[in-house]
Each structure stands twice: as C-alpha cells, then as structure tokens.
Amino acid sequence: MQALPTEPNTWSSLPPVLRESWRRSAQKVQDPVRALPPIELDGAELASHRRTHPLGLVLPVLRRLLVQPAAEAGLIVAIGDARGRLLWVDGARETLRQGERSGFQPGANWSEQAIGTSAPGLALATGGGVQVHREQHFSYTAHRFSCSAAPVHHPGTGELLGVVDLTGGDHAVAVHSLPLLWAAISAAQAQLRLIPVEPSPIRLAALGRQAATLSISGSEQPLGLRHAEILFLLGWHRQQRRGQGLSAEELAELLFGEPAHEVAVRAELVRLRRLLLSRGSTPLALLSRPYRLSAPVQLDAHEVRAALIAGDHQRALEIYSGELLPGSEAPGVLRVRRELSTQLRESILSDGTGEDLWRYLQLPEAAEDQEAIRLALRLLPPAAPERAALIAGVESSAAS
C-alpha cells in the first residue's frame, strides 16, 4: 500500500523516521498537493548570507568532492543553512532546470516546517543522514526527485551550520550516496577546524550538576534549576537556529511540554533578566520578541558534542561529568540529555580505546552498562589495573 499525504491511514507503510516526519509535516503543510517551498532569500540578501555563512569557507572542498561527481551522474548538490534555506545549488544542468520548476533553488526553504518531508529538512530535524525516495516526500512538488542529505556541524563548537543534499534520480539514493556525503562533510569539517574560533567569555556548565554554573569572564554565578534550564535552552537553540530565538510558546513547550504555561515562563524570564542585570556591566542580556541571548554562551554540552564530532574521545570524557541537568524534567532538556548521552555511548563503543571505555564506565549512567564492560575487558591489556578492577566489580555484582 502506497502512503499518501492526504490519507493518514496509509502512513503505516512508511519507515518509522519518515512516518514521524509526515506527522510533523501534516501540522505545518496544509495542502501537500499544491505546496511550494517559500523563497526566503533573494538578490542582495541571498548574496550577503552566502558571503557571511561559514559553509562558504569550505565551498571549494564540497564542490570538488561532491558537485563534480554529482554532475557526471546527472545529479545536483544543494548546500543549505541551519534553517533549511538553500544557499548553493549546482550540478547537472538538466536536473537543475527540473529542480527550479519544483522550487529547488537558492533562497528556497526546504525545512519540514516550510515544505514537509524532504531529505534536507529531515536531516536537520533528526540530526542524521537520511534518504528520501520520490513518493516519500510529503509534498507532491518534490515527487519527481529522490535525495540524500546529512547535517554539517562546526567541529570546534558543535554548532549546527547547515545541510548538504544530493538530489536527482535513483542514483541520489544509491547505497554509496550517504557515505559519499559523509566523506565530503568530514573533509569540509577538517578544513573548518583549521579556522580559529573566538571563544566566548560566557560559559554555562550544566553537565553532571544539580546546580549549574554561569561563568562570565571568570566570575561564576550558581543558578537555580529553572534559570539553568532557560539559559541552557536559549543557548542550545541559539546555535541550532543561528540566533533566531524562541517565542514564549516554544519555551513553554520545551519547559513544560505544552504552551499553556506562557505566563509562568514570562515570570521566570523577568526574574532571569533581573539576575543578569544584577551582575552590573555584563556582555550577556536577555532580549525579547523572540526571547534570545544577546551574546553566544559556550555550553559544556556543545563542547562535548564538538569533541565527539571531531573523534576526540578523551576531551569529550574530560568535559562530560554526567548527565545534563540531572534534576531537570523539562522536555527540551530531556531530549538533549538523551541525545548527548546516546551519542557519547555510541561513539565510545564504536571506536573508543580500552582506556576510553574505562573512563566512560566511571560515569554513574554507565556503571552497569554490560556491553561496555564486556568490550572494555576485551580491549584492556591483561595486566591493566583497570581490567582487574572491572573483573572485581563484575564478580562482586554476581555475588550480590
């Protein structure tokens, strides 16, 4: 049975990740039959965004590794920002012309919110590499193409920079398409790593802490849980959204799971603004409409994510002292907590050393991870004291 966007009873035939994407898309795209992606950047605004966007610095790498092979295969490559707006589209001329008829062009927004399920939008929504076949697109305008896409993060900060997409016929979703994308993205990130990033004088430490700490130019301020949650969510989404901010409704959903708590959220934001102002001269202020921070805040969660993206397990484990805001039950915090914990575990188990696994197992959340224990015992040298300690721990648990 083929899934049809206008008939939800047919969606069960879709893979789970696409089914969830269609459900989200149905809330945003009212008419999938006639929907077209909005053109949000044009002319001078598009040119300015291209000049200032970090991915412009690695455009030659992506062109060499992706655009040239794609053109030879009749495909096109699109590079978009973190909001799903396409900045560069290049490749086979005939496919470019066909894409323009569907609004697949520079300046168009191909996020889930704008046009429903597509590879660029789904990659940004899920944070992983995805493939979408023709009829699996939510809006009919995209049914002429298949596409693969993967997100790009800054290797130094973990910031979501945008997305790289491969679009065209069946070759766009071939088995080798995603590995090709990831290889090109890895090369681009390696180049970005050579470009120095100005560190923020403001840092929020929220991993493994019941009480988070806000540091501004070396001066530390302990925070209550609610203020820590708000600062973390604003800091996290500032990078994800390129500084766009959050509405009171969005913050209410992230903090309480529903938008009905806007009054409580606004009251907490007033108290947080007073707290920041009480510090006197500070580079950090809380702005409104939408709510956002006036300056970037370096999150220890971002530092861990950046280290994992770079394959630096030692640094990730140095920073990751435990789960994100362990006392928090805010849905937005819980989601990031699960994502970060899972990413750390999968990275350590997939290519960590025996010592990395030993350090990982010292975390409260990992102490009973039997798969990690078995792998550590295989990788640690026979005479390693860590191995002996692990065996003693296993025997003690078995005896009890």
293 with 342, same domain: the answer is no
Nearest-10 crossing angle of helices 354-361, 331-351: 150
- The structure tokens listed for 45 are 């605004």
15 with 50, same domain: the answer is yes
pLDDT at 242 over 60: no
88-102, 338-352, 370-384: range with lowest mean pLDDT: 370-384
- Indicate the pTM of the whole model: 0.63
Residue 244 counted as domain residue? yes
44 with 125, same domain: the answer is yes
Residue 156 counted as domain residue? yes
222 with 232, same domain: the answer is yes
Q: Output the domain CATH number for residue 124.
A: 3.30.450.40
Query: pLDDT value at position 396?
Result: 63
Query: pLDDT value at position 390?
Result: 85
pLDDT at 342 over 90: yes
Tell me what the mean pLDDT of segment 338-346 comes to.
Answer: 95
Residue 274 counted as domain residue? yes
Asked if residues 309 and 343 have their Cβ atoms less than 8 Å apart, the reply is no
Number of C-beta neighbours around residue 8 at 10 A: 13
Tell me what the mean pLDDT of segment 301-327 comes to.
Answer: 88
Asked if residues 202 and 165 have their Cβ atoms less than 8 Å apart, the reply is no
pLDDT at 218 over 80: no
Query: pLDDT value at position 285?
Result: 84
Query: pLDDT value at position 287?
Result: 86
Residue 79 falls in which region: left (phi positive, over 0), alpha (psi -120 to 50) or beta:
beta
**pLDDT bracket for residue 216 (50, 70, 90):** confident
77 with 131, same domain: the answer is yes
Summarised one tens digit per residue, pLDDT across range 92-131 is 999 999 999 999 999 999 999 999 999 999 999 998 999 9
Q: How far apart are CA 288 and CA 246, in angstroms?
A: 9
Asked if residues 149 and 163 have their Cβ atoms less than 8 Å apart, the reply is yes
Residue 318 falls in which region: left (phi positive, over 0), alpha (psi -120 to 50) or beta:
alpha
Query: pLDDT value at position 164?
Result: 97
pLDDT at 399 over 60: no
73 with 222, same domain: the answer is no
Distances (CA, A) of 82 to 55, 113, 297, 386: 11, 13, 18, 43
Strands (E) located in the chain: 76-81, 86-91, 130-132, 146-153, 160-168, 202-205, 213-216, 219-222, 286-287, 292-293, 298-299
Q: How far apart are CA 109 and CA 84, in angstroms?
A: 5
Query: pLDDT value at position 174?
Result: 92
pLDDT at 74 over 60: yes
Domain boundary pick from 266, 299, 332: 299
97 with 70, same domain: the answer is yes
pLDDT at 243 over 60: no
Q: Phi and psi dihedrals of 286, rounded to 5?
A: -100, 115
Domain boundary pick from 249, 275, 299: 299
Q: Which domain holds residue 275?
A: 202-299
Query: pLDDT value at position 225?
Result: 93
Tell me what the mean pLDDT of segment 257-270 comes to.
Answer: 86
Summarised one tens digit per residue, pLDDT across range 155-178 is 877 788 999 999 999 999 999 999
Domain boundary pick from 299, 314, 332: 299
Summarised one tens digit per residue, pLDDT across range 130-148 is 999 999 999 999 999 999 9
String of DSSP letters for 263-328: HHHHHHHHHHHHHHHTTSS-S--EETTTBEESS--EEHHHHHHHHHHTT-HHHHHHH--SSBSTT-
**pLDDT bracket for residue 387 (50, 70, 90):** confident
What percent of the chain clears pLDDT 70, i.e. is strictly above it? 94
pLDDT at 16 over 70: yes
Q: How many domains does the chain have?
A: 3
The mean pLDDT of the chain is 88
Query: pLDDT value at position 17?
Result: 92
Residue 154 counted as domain residue? yes
Tell me what the mean pLDDT of segment 322-335 comes to.
Answer: 94
Query: pLDDT value at position 199?
Result: 63
Q: How far apart are CA 148 and CA 121, in angstroms?
A: 11
Q: What is the DSSP letter of 165?
A: E
Q: By three-state DSSP, how is residue 163 classified? A: strand
**pLDDT bracket for residue 211 (50, 70, 90):** confident
Q: By three-state DSSP, how is residue 16 classified? A: helix
Query: pLDDT value at position 247?
Result: 86
Summarised one tens digit per residue, pLDDT across range 246-256 is 888 889 999 99
81 with 179, same domain: the answer is yes
Distances (CA, A) of 102 to 51, 98, 115, 172: 26, 7, 11, 17
273 with 329, same domain: the answer is no
pLDDT at 295 over 70: yes
292 with 309, same domain: the answer is no
Query: pLDDT value at position 395?
Result: 62
